[in-house]
Amino acid sequence: MKNIVYILVCASVVFFTACSSQDKNKKDGLLLMQDSTEFAGLQRMQVSDVKTSFRYKGKEYQSSVVRRPDESLPIVKNEQGEKFVDNRITLHITCDGKHVVDKVFTKDNFASLVDAKFMKYSILEGLVYDKTTPQGIIYAASVCYPQSDLYVPIRLTITADGKISMAKEELLEEYQTNSID
């Protein structure tokens, strides 16, 4: 009797494992396409809309950062010939119902900070709120090679009256560690 129960349990495990390991992109026998690729072979990042509230100089601010792939921008090709749609990012900041910043960014806005060769093969990946400092509201932007870890970090500083300054952030080449002898 134990052997029969053991065989039934093993058969059930095999059956359920086989059923659950089917392709997760299939639904009703149809293969669903991934969000980032379309039939024409263009790859794109997902649309994102990130809202943040923060205090700066005693006032409450609201921020919205919307990233959208934009096919009107030049298509970027990597070394393997894959094609990527670049992004357009809108930054909207308000305080007490008044517009402080309403600006649209493309990677060209950062051309003075990024090497021209890198710009040719890169996309504007993102823009995120970082923190506030006495100098202003800090956002971090990223121009990157698509689907890679290679990027140029850029720091945007925004004053209370909406003036924007940009600077390239330096990456640490090595991580320094303390060794114990």
Would you list the DSSP string of 57-109? TTEEEEEEEEEEE-TTSPPEE-TT--EE--EEEEEEEEETTEEEEEEEE-GGG
pLDDT band at 167 (very low <50, low <70, confident <90, very high): very high
Token match 């560690």: residue?
Answer: 177
Q: pLDDT digits over 44-68, tens only? A: 999 999 999 999 999 999 999 999 9
Tell me which amino acid residue 174 is.
E
* pLDDT (mean) for 103-128: 96
Q: What is the pLDDT of residue 21?
A: 40
Q: pLDDT digits over 87-98, tens only? A: 999 999 999 999
Element (H, E) at 163: none
Q: What is the pLDDT of residue 171?
A: 64
Q: What is the pLDDT of residue 34?
A: 42
What's the angle, vertex CA 130, arms to CA 49 and CA 68, rounded to 5? 25
Q: Where are the domains of the chain?
A: 48-168
CB 55 within 8 A of CB 46: no
Q: Superfamily for 48-168?
A: Protein of unknown function DUF4738 (2.40.128.510)
Q: What is the pLDDT of residue 43?
A: 96
pLDDT band at 84 (very low <50, low <70, confident <90, very high): very high
Copy the structure tokens of residue 47: 């649309």
Does the pLDDT at position 177 exceed 50? no
